[in-house]
Amino acid sequence: MRRAVIVGAGIGGLALAIRLQSGGVDTIVVEARDKPGGCAYFWERDGFTFDAGPTVITAPDALRELWRLSGRDIGEDVKLVPVSPFYRLSWPDGTRFDYSNDDTQLRAEIARLNPHDVNGYRRFLGYSAGVYRDAYLGMGAVPFLDFGSMARAAPALIRHQAWRSVYSMVSGYIRDEKLRQALSFHTLLVGGNPMRTSAIYALIHKLERDSGVWWPEGGTNRLVAGMVALFERLGGVLRLGDPVTAIDTLGDRVTGVRTSSGEEIQADAVASNADLVHSYRDLLKGSRTAQRTCASLLGKRYSPSLFLVHFGVRGTFPDIPHHNVLFGPRYRGLLADIFDTGVLPDDLSIYLHHPSATDPGMAPEGHSTFYALAPVPHLGKFPADWDDLAPILEERLLAEIERRLIPGLRGKIVTRVAYAPPDFARDLHAHLGSGFGLEPTLLQSGWFRAHHRDDAIANLYFVGAGTHPGAGIPAVVAGARATAGLMLGEVK
């Protein structure tokens, strides 16, 4: 028997599926929703394409590798185009900072904010390169199954002062508060508070600098579609719109899955790409050890949720780049509100996505596609009535963008749709509506995170944001390599 079932067609699930199928394992992916992608779902409305989640595509080589496994080229299915600047960051006082991997331009931008920091940036880059080499290239695809593996990682973690936060580490090199924000906000893209997330996540800076920021023509949904096309060409089966209702166990083995349509699919191994709490609590109800794991998971810290407004607008905006961050007046206090106190702040920081800047095909001719995203406390910290709150927050986000970036915006909107924390909980079974799963703190990383293989059930595996190395496309693709390594070693 050489058959595996994967629960969920998120990017991690699909990366694992491609690896297994390329390795000769008959693989069936069972997805609850009508389209694959998970966080990278999408909608088409009135001629606009709205990607639901990931937009900043980094580490393209990790994606290319999925095609190379079977001697193919990613270009057959996905056209990746470079994005520059990577981000335009702006503050309420009108300060702007364009962030890219053009060294001369970046240094000039830093010098414009604070000339003393050019030298500090050079030293920060050295730090970032070291953690990138040791933590991402060296440990990104390592399955941390036992404490020994964590102990082996300890010297590198100590060398890079992993107990310090990204913000603290950046502040050791950089004096200017805005530049500190510019070089530390990236952890928010993977659900981490820069004030608390381990300094090893400063590796994201080097990762972006070396591999660039990319955009799949037609949207992130085309990357997902390309992964599905590759998987199906290899002979894999994707089943959509059929939620898994149970992962069946017999003793300390899984035997397969059952789905809501009544299908029973037997398998030698099952890998869950679904939310960890949902997997253990709801799908493994019959397993006592799984329920114990679930109890421990419920005690962990979860990353915030997100509030998004997708909107299609009349007109084009060549002066607004693809990726924009509109910082609010507060940074540390705002993060504490969202991550700790569970307060919905008045002064939001906004990520504004403008894909039609790179790819006009994302909107009808003469129109533009945007989404605005604000991190908000998850449902455990802030159990609000979002039916009432969402329209108010939607107006606030749009008003802020209108004030700072697009005068008269609300009069130009042709179509719009908001997406709130309960939507994450309902559509993705995301525990507490979290946007990224377990918060990436040091004590929830590596061996301390959910393992790629269950400790007690030998042929039950996990892939995706809940496992090492965490959330974000490069991370779930690297994690899929770790899970596939374990599965191919055992299933074959």
Ligand X SMILES: Cc1cc2nc3c(=O)[nH]c(=O)nc-3n(C[C@H](O)[C@H](O)[C@H](O)COP(=O)(O)OP(=O)(O)OC[C@H]3O[C@@H](n4cnc5c(N)ncnc54)[C@H](O)[C@@H]3O)c2cc1C
Shortest distance (Å) from residue 429 CB to ligand X: 4
Shortest distance (Å) from residue 323 CB to ligand X: 8
Shortest distance (Å) from residue 25 CB to ligand X: 18
Of 127, 97, 102, 125, residue with least CA distance to 112 = 97
Q: Name which of 99 and 173 has its Cβ closer to ligand X.
A: 99
Please check whether residue 418 is in contact with residue 307, taking contact to mean a CB–CB distance below 8 angstroms: yes
Shortest distance (Å) from residue 283 CB to ligand X: 6
Q: Name which of 113 and 228 has its Cβ closer to ligand X.
A: 228
Shortest distance (Å) from residue 341 CB to ligand X: 22
Q: Name which of 42 and 91 has its Cβ closer to ligand X.
A: 42
User: What is the 3-class SS of the chain, one letter each residue?
Assistant: CCEEEEECCEHHHHHHHHHHHHCCCEEEEECCCCCCEHHHCEEEECCEEEECCCCCECCHHHHHHHHHCCCCCHHHCCCEEECCCCEEEECCCCCEEEECCCHHHHHHHHHHHCCCHHHHHHHHHHHHHHHHHHHHHCCCCCCCCCHHHHHHHHHHHHHCCCCCEHHHHHHHHCCCHHHHHHCCHHHHHHCCCCCCCEHHHHHHHHHHHHHCCEEECCCHHHHHHHHHHHHHHCCCEEECCCCEEEEEEECCEEEEEEECCCCEEECCEEEECCCHHHHHHHHCCCCHHHHHHHHHHHCCCECCEEEEEEEEEECCCCCCCCEEEECCCCCHHHHHHHHHHCCCCCCCCEEEECHHHCCHHHCCCCEEEEEEEEEECCCCCCCCCHHHHHHHHHHHHHHHHHHHCCCCHHHHEEEEEEECHHHHHHHHCCHHHCCCCECCCHHHCHHHCECCECCCCCCEEECCCCECCCCCHHHHHHHHHHHHHHHHHHHC
Residues forming contacts to ligand X in the complex (CB under 6 A) are 7-13, 30-33, 38-40, 53-56, 189, 243-244, 273-274, 278, 283, 306, 373, 428-429, 435-436, 464-465, 471-473, 476
Shortest distance (Å) from residue 149 CB to ligand X: 21
Which tokens go with 412? 């130009």
Shortest distance (Å) from residue 425 CB to ligand X: 11
Q: Name which of 39 and 202 has its Cβ closer to ligand X.
A: 39
Q: Name which of 203 and 428 has its Cβ closer to ligand X.
A: 428
Shortest distance (Å) from residue 53 CB to ligand X: 4
Pairing between β-strand 253-259 and β-strand 264-266 as defined by DSSP bridges: antiparallel
CA 301 to chain centroid, in Å, comes to 17
Q: Name which of 313 and 473 has its Cβ closer to ligand X.
A: 473
Which tokens go with 359? 């790819």
Q: Name which of 171 and 181 has its Cβ closer to ligand X.
A: 181
Q: Name which of 113 and 335 has its Cβ closer to ligand X.
A: 335
Shortest distance (Å) from residue 36 CB to ligand X: 7
Q: Name which of 10 and 140 has its Cβ closer to ligand X.
A: 10
Q: Name which of 335 and 425 has its Cβ closer to ligand X.
A: 425
Q: Name which of 75 and 241 has its Cβ closer to ligand X.
A: 241
Q: Name which of 323 and 381 has its Cβ closer to ligand X.
A: 323
| Distance separating alpha carbons of residues 259 and 307, to the nearest angstrom | 30
**Crossing angle of helices 11-22/60-68, nearest 10°?**
30
Burial of 360 (C-beta count, 10 Å sphere; 0-12/13-18/19+): middle
Q: Name which of 10 and 192 has its Cβ closer to ligand X.
A: 10
Shortest distance (Å) from residue 306 CB to ligand X: 5
| Distance separating alpha carbons of residues 102 and 90, to the nearest angstrom | 19
Sign of CA dihedral 44, 50, 54, 55: positive
